[in-house]
Amino acid sequence: MVTAHLVVAASEDAERQGVFTLDGFPFWIVYLAAFCLVMVRAGATYWLGRGVARGTVRTRAAELLTGDRATRVIDRIHRWGPPAVTFSFFTVGIQTVVNLAAGYLRMPFGRYLVALTFGSLIWAAIWTTVGTAVVWGAVLLFLEQPAVLAALGVLAAGLTVWLLLRRRARDRTAAPQPDEV
């Protein structure tokens, strides 16, 4: 069977080269490449946000960001935003928004760079270890048992929908009703 041969070949290669390699490259090279990739990607997103902010200087949105309350919030973001940048690298999708917002709100680059570096170290560690293992596990599962992988996907989607509906229902019951106010 072709898939069984692929699985055996993959396991033999893993034993010979190590689990966390990419086409025979050692782990540290793959990690360094992932680190550099995310530094460039997230840094570019930050600078894109800075560019958007510069391009919207004379708009209503920019006027809203110059008020007293907005200025206080932006000052807090400049002070406490770097941990948000770093921790955003534990997520998928949110990190792009956080990096874009950091640029748009003109977080000082020095603070951003420190947060970006730590976040990139975390991201590279996650994706070159656990992330790689999950991806290869899914590939092998697809080759051997595609129905099981599809069922797991449906189960994950159903669980996500259930959790979102449950949260929405809880938020509705926690919100004050119009006649209670």
Which residues are CB-contacts of 110 (< 8 A; sequence separation ≥ 6)?
Answer: none
- Look at the pTM and tell me if it is higher than 0.75: no
- Which sign does the torsion angle of CA 110, 116, 118, 120 carry? negative
Q: In the prediction, which pLDDT does 3 show?
A: 46
**Most confident range, picked from 72-81, 119-128, 167-176:** 119-128
Q: In the prediction, which pLDDT does 105 show?
A: 84
Per-residue pLDDT band at 1 (split at 50, 70, 90): very low
CA–CA separation, 42 vs 93, rounded Å? Answer: 11
Q: Give tens-digit pLDDT for 24-48.
A: 778 888 899 999 999 999 999 999 9
CA–CA separation, 34 vs 53, rounded Å? Answer: 29
CA–CA separation, 78 vs 44, rounded Å? Answer: 19
Q: Give tens-digit pLDDT for 116-161.
A: 999 999 999 988 888 778 888 888 888 988 898 899 889 999 999 9
- Answer yes or no: are the C-beta atoms of 106 and 51 closer than 8 Å: no
Nearest CA among 43, 148, 139, 26 for reference residue 98: 43
Sequence-ordered alpha helix ranges (H) in 56-181: 60-64, 68-87, 94-104, 109-128, 130-144, 146-174
> 79 or 64: which carries more pLDDT confidence?
79
